[in-house]
């Protein structure tokens, strides 16, 4: 969703801010703007649409200033207009700010500021005016920001500059991330590390309630009680290379192709072949505690939830513990029953999804062990869980999640090995799984080599308006994920069902205009799934099957087939999902969609 980048130092701020905004594009946005201090005044430029529009507009005003703030806006309060675009400013235009999050009591605040001139429909603008009022009272920008924030209900990550305190940026957070990058006589402020990493790997993460006062040579951080505190400087490992497209047409395609190598990163150093187990130290539990866990819950949204569903099957099979996967936005309001031996895994690529965060806070409050399966290092969920594991997928910038999904499953399998070996899983069974896991990267490569073939298939299917994705057992979450990928980037209607459920209603939709895409690999449910496809075939539905290599009999049923290598049943989602990612990708390209930034979607969903 919205993104923030700020700079204070000796270099020209504008190119750094524009570059930073480009790095934030992946989060989703519909307008962008910046404010730079120049000749004693703050100059503000905004534009709706792409960053390029803003960059073109800036060509007419060569801003030389070395302090500035910028923002990508994803509209919530008020339409996509220039006036609603950040930065927002006070009546006298001496204070400018950018804001992520939601000010819930903005109407009350607005009413409490008679005489102020509001120009936008946003909740954020009231903050600029509230700070203006407080600044007039005490003449200290940081104190004014603190006083203003203390009157706010809601969430915020903000960066503020003021004409009368020229060499300073004030930044603060509550429920919406702010990270500060430390360079040589320069600082970067952002809503995540992505726009900062090209300049520095040294990062300070603000926690909720903290506020920082930053000059080009110094940073001071204060807690909620206004006491100055020292925060650790963390070193982020992601290299700049992993944030580029590397010659691929889109981030999504690059990230699909990243899967074999990042999968290796996810399992490297974490498996013990001899003992048939995995060691994930981040679980922060001793063997006794692990043996006594009697319920596991995966909590997540979207693609991460689909990975959680895979995790449920795997845990029940290998660990024999009752396991659930829950959608976070429902779980948070469900008044869940949590026992003292319940283990909750928060699964999230961004580590910032507000629903997942709220759900784990609820689980924690009720006494669960809460651990994270997270990609973004230092993210809010990673910091709020009492341990867990990074999935090491590297930066995922396309809105459609791909490599994070496979790496989430990789980590779930490792956890299942670790817990399973403390229970009934034998060393031989553990070793068999590890050996199969080690084959996965090469098997993924063989699927990626079929990209051109999948592209041709997508040409054939591009004019259909509706799709069903059908799968059984572990291929059901695969079907859900394939369907989500297709709808989010092509805007084509699709639904996913367990194959056996079709007869209970959805089959009435089937016709020659309603294709079925089905992962139907050689596992225990193969014959059952085949019968379900026969029913569809009898009603003339075109069928695209994801089948196991050398499966000849599927040819009698399917119009098109994408073959995947054979693996253990529990590992099938790691392979079977990839052709569906590629299918959605090629369909979207063929239809001329904006693959990496599909309409209405944001990469990191930080509002409810």
- Three-state SS sequence of 110-178: HHCCCCCCCCCCCCCHHHHHHHHHHHHHHCCHHHHHHHHHCCCCECEEEEEEECCEEEEEEEEEEECCC
Q: In angstroms, give the least distance from the CB of 603 to ligand M6R.
A: 7
Q: Mask 487-506, x = binds ligand M6R (CB under 6 A)?
A: -x------------------
Kindly indicate which of the ranges 19-27, 286-294, 464-472, 599-607 contains the residues binding ligand M6R, using the contact rule CB under 6 A. 599-607
Find tokens 């993460």 and name the residue: 205
Query: How far, in whole angstroms, is CA 10 from its chain's centroid?
Result: 33
- CA-closest candidate to residue 520, choices 478, 578, 465: 478
Report the C-alpha gap between 163 and 484 in whole angstroms.
Answer: 47
Q: How many residues bind ligand M6R (CB under 6 A)?
A: 17
Contact between residue 602 and residue 399 where contact means Cβ atoms under 8 Å apart:
yes
Report the C-alpha gap between 42 and 35 in whole angstroms.
Answer: 6
Report the C-alpha gap between 167 and 466 in whole angstroms.
Answer: 57
Kindly indicate which of the ranges 133-141, 240-248, 348-356, 363-371 contains the residues binding ligand M6R, using the contact rule CB under 6 A. 348-356
Q: Does 401 bind ligand M6R (CB under 6 A)?
A: yes
Q: Mask 257-296, x = binds ligand M6R (CB under 6 A)?
A: ----------------------------------------
> Is 91 an annotated catalytic residue?
no
> CB nearest ligand M6R: which residue?
302
Task: Using DSSP, state whether 518 is helix, strand or coil.
Answer: strand
Nearer to ligand M6R, 187 or 263 (CB): 263
Contact between residue 198 and residue 161 where contact means Cβ atoms under 8 Å apart:
no
Kindly indicate which of the ranges 154-162, 212-220, 349-357, 546-554 contains the residues binding ligand M6R, using the contact rule CB under 6 A. 349-357
Report the C-alpha gap between 359 and 328 in whole angstroms.
Answer: 6
- Token pair for 60: 């007419």
Contact between residue 289 and residue 441 where contact means Cβ atoms under 8 Å apart:
no
Q: Does 346 bind ligand M6R (CB under 6 A)?
A: no
Query: Which of the residues 2, 403, 485, 487 is marked catalytic?
Result: 2
Task: Using DSSP, state whether 574 is helix, strand or coil.
Answer: helix
Of 160, 206, 280, 400, which lies in the binding site for ligand M6R, with binding defined by CB under 6 A? 400
Q: In angstroms, give the least distance from the CB of 359 to ligand M6R.
A: 11
Of 259, 350, 431, 566, which lies in the binding site for ligand M6R, with binding defined by CB under 6 A? 350
Report the C-alpha gap between 457 and 465 in whole angstroms.
Answer: 16
Q: In angstroms, give the least distance from the CB of 278 to ligand M6R.
A: 22
**Residue 223, Cβ density class (10 Å: 0-12 exposed, 13-18 middle, ≥19 buried):** middle
Contact between residue 13 and residue 35 where contact means Cβ atoms under 8 Å apart:
no
Kindly indicate which of the ranges 43-51, 144-152, 297-305, 362-370 contains the residues binding ligand M6R, using the contact rule CB under 6 A. 297-305
Nearer to ligand M6R, 21 or 484 (CB): 484
> Is 2 an annotated catalytic residue?
yes
- DSSP letter, residue 206: P
User: Site residues for ligand M6R, window 469-488 (CB under 6 A)?
Assistant: 484, 488
Nearer to ligand M6R, 68 or 302 (CB): 302
Task: Using DSSP, state whether 219 is helix, strand or coil.
Answer: strand
Q: Does 303 bind ligand M6R (CB under 6 A)?
A: yes
- CA-closest candidate to residue 326, choices 358, 288, 299, 357: 299
Nearer to ligand M6R, 7 or 305 (CB): 305
Q: Does 353 bind ligand M6R (CB under 6 A)?
A: yes
Of 282, 302, 311, 477, which lies in the binding site for ligand M6R, with binding defined by CB under 6 A? 302
Kindly indicate which of the ranges 116-124, 350-358, 423-431, 492-500 contains the residues binding ligand M6R, using the contact rule CB under 6 A. 350-358
Q: In angstroms, give the least distance from the CB of 376 to ligand M6R.
A: 8
Q: Catalytic positions, please? A: 2, 603
């Amino acid at each position: 969703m919205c993104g923030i980048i700020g700079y204070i130092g000796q270099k020209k701020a504008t190119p750094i801010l524009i570059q930073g905004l480009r790095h934030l594009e992946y989060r989703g946005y519909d307008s962008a703007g910046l404010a730079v201090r120049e000749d004693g005044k703050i100059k503000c430029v905004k534009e709706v649409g792409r960053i390029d529009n803003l960059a073109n507009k800036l060509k007419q005003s060569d801003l030389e200033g070395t302090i500035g703030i910028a923002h990508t806006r994803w509209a919530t309060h008020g339409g996509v207009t220039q006036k609603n675009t950040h930065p927002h400013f006070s009546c006298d235009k001496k204070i400018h700010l950018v804001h992520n999050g939601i000010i819930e009591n903005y109407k009350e605040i607005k009413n409490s500021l008679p005489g102020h001139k509001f120009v936008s429909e946003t909740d954020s603008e009231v903050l600029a005016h509230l700070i203006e009022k407080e600044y007039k009272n005490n003449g200290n920008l940081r104190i004014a920001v603190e006083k203003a924030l203390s009157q706010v209900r809601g969430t915020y990550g903000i960066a503020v500059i003021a004409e009368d305190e020229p060499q300073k940026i004030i930044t603060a957070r509550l429920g919406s991330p702010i990270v500060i990058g430390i360079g040589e006589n320069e600082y970067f402020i952002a809503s995540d590390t992505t726009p900062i990493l090209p300049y520095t790997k040294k990062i300070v993460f603000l926690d909720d309630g903290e506020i920082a006062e930053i000059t080009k040579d110094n940073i001071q951080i204060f807690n909620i009680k206004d006491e100055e505190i020292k925060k650790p400087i963390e070193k982020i490992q992601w290299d700049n290379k992993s944030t580029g497209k590397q010659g691929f047409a889109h981030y999504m395609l690059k990230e699909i192709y990243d899967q074999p190598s990042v999968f290796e990163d996810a399992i490297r150093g974490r498996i013990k072949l001899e003992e048939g187990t995995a060691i994930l130290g981040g679980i922060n539990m001793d063997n006794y505690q692990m043996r006594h866990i009697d319920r596991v819950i995966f909590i997540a949204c979207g693609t991460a939830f689909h990975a959680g569903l895979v995790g449920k099957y795997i845990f029940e099979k290998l660990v024999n513990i009752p396991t659930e996967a829950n959608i976070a936005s429902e779980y948070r309001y469900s008044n869940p029953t949590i026992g003292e031996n319940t283990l909750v895994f928060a699964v999230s690529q961004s580590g910032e999804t507000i629903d997942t965060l709220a759900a784990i806070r609820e689980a924690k409050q009720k006494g669960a062990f809460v651990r994270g399966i997270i990609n973004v290092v230092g993210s809010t969920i990673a910091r709020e869980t009492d341990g867990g594991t990074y999935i090491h997928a590297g930066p995922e910038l396309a809105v459609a999640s791909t490599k994070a999904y496979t790496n989430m499953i990789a980590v779930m399998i490792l956890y299942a090995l670790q817990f399973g070996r403390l229970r009934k899983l034998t060393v031989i069974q553990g070793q068999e799984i590890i050996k199969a896991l080690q084959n996965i990267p090469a098997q993924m490569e063989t699927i990626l080599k079929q990209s051109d073939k999948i592209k041709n298939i997508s040409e054939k299917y591009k004019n259909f308006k509706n799709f069903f994705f059908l799968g059984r057992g572990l291929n059901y979450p695969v079907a859900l994920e394939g369907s989500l990928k297709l709808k989010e980037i092509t805007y084509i209607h699709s639904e996913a069902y367990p194959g056996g459920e079709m007869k209970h209603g959805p089959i009435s939709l089937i016709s020659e205009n309603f294709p079925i895409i089905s992962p139907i690999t050689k596992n225990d449910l193969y014959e059952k799934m085949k019968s379900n496809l026969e029913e569809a075939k009898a009603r003339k539905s075109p069928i695209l099957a994801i089948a196991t290599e050398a499966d000849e009999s599927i040819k009698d049923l399917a119009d098109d087939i994408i073959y995947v290598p054979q693996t253990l049943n529990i590992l099938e989602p790691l392979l079977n999902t990839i052709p569906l990612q590629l299918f959605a990708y090629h369909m979207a390209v063929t239809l001329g969609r904006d693959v990496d930034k599909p309409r209405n979607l944001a990469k990191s969903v930080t509002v409810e």
